[in-house]
Amino acid sequence: MRYRVRHTTEYRYSAQVINGHTVAHLRPRATPTQTVLESEVTTIPAADHADEYLDVFGNPVSYRAVEQVHDQLVVVASSEVDVVPAVELLWSPPWEEVRSIIATDGSPDGLLARMCSVESTFVTPSADLARFASWSFLPGRPFHEAVVDLSHRIFAEFAFDPGFSDVSTPLADVLTFRRGVCQDFAHLAIGTMRSLGLPARYVSGYVENAPLPGEPKMVGADASHAWCAVYVPGWGWLDVDPTNDQVPPRFHVTVGWGRDYADVAPVRGVVFGSPASQELSVAVEVTRLGD
């Protein structure tokens, strides 16, 4: 499937700022199932300085500096990608074995898996998260079967509630009140598995706005979306979208991945000038161009 993605982020300031610096994870990355045909990030006002580079996880990063007085900044990312269906995973080792296998896996994926098995900025393993995971990770159960069950339980037991949380909401609150958004559910799935010593990474991207006739609209459309991926030794990374109960996900475009949201926040930056408030608006369009 070929997709065109347009992500527009607009900041309006209550007073003029002298200059601003923006770092963005908005350009999709190449993956085994995704080819990036074109991608660019532009700003209004036009950037005085621009740079493109890869972060430590291999994600494309766009830096833009607007060094002129302005009271509005618009960041627009336009991309076109080809996505092919992921290969179905039919076998995996018992989940208990995964921990011991990755302990000696010296491959780049194995090293990343160990990095994604421990605490990070927004994901703190806990006994409560391990307890929640234990209902899916039964003794001797194949790893991928346990992951599929965990994804379904989050989808069935938690309510999608955009007004409940923000990026600083603790996972303990998400678990207690059984609600949140895609970012929370991705962090929850990651936290439960890391609480068992298992590797899981955070994935940032998009989901198609209007799927095929008869298909339900994906939760998380019209904005940046988030899901997670688990490392299956000997096979690779398996994407998991608990918000939509899809393993592997369909209709998704990958931008980047890291340990959690902090590693791949879509847009962040700093402005200099008089004290001012700001208004933020975000619009995302994901259009299927053909199969």
How many Å apart are CA 141 and CA 139, to the nearest integer? 6
Which position has the higher pLDDT, 276 or 70? 70
Taking only the tens place, the pLDDT of each residue in 122-166 is 999 999 999 999 999 999 999 999 999 999 999 999 999 999 998
pLDDT of residue 210: 62
How many Å apart are CA 242 and CA 248, to the nearest integer? 10
**Taking a C-beta distance cutoff of 8 angstroms, is the pair 207, 252 a contact?**
yes
User: What DSSP state is assigned to residue 56?
Assistant: T
Task: Tell me how far CA of residue 42 lies from CA of 213, 259, 278, in angstroms.
Answer: 33, 27, 20
Residue 214 pLDDT > 80, yes or no? no
Burial class (CB in 10 A: 0-12, 13-18, 19+), 194: buried
Taking only the tens place, the pLDDT of each residue in 168-192 is 899 999 999 999 999 999 999 999 9
How many Å apart are CA 145 and CA 65, to the nearest integer? 47
pLDDT of residue 222: 61
Percent over 90 (pLDDT), the chain = 88
- Give the domains, in start order, of the chain with CATH numbers: 2-84+265-290 (2.60.40.2250), 95-263 (3.10.620.30)
Confidence of residue 275 (pLDDT cuts 50, 70, 90): confident
Q: What is the mean pLDDT of the segment spanning 257-264?
A: 98
Q: How far apart are the first and last CA of the chain?
A: 4
pLDDT of residue 87: 86
How far, in whole angstroms, is CA 111 from its chain's centroid? Answer: 20
pLDDT of residue 259: 98
Phi, then psi, of 183 in degrees rounded to 5: -60, -45
Q: What is the mean pLDDT of the segment spanning 197-222?
A: 75
pTM as predicted: 0.94
**Taking a C-beta distance cutoff of 8 angstroms, is the pair 26, 246 a contact?**
no
Taking only the tens place, the pLDDT of each residue in 48-80 is 999 999 999 999 999 999 999 999 999 999 999
Which residues neighbour 43 within 8 Å (Cβ) at sequence distance 6 or greater? 22, 64, 66, 73, 74, 75, 76
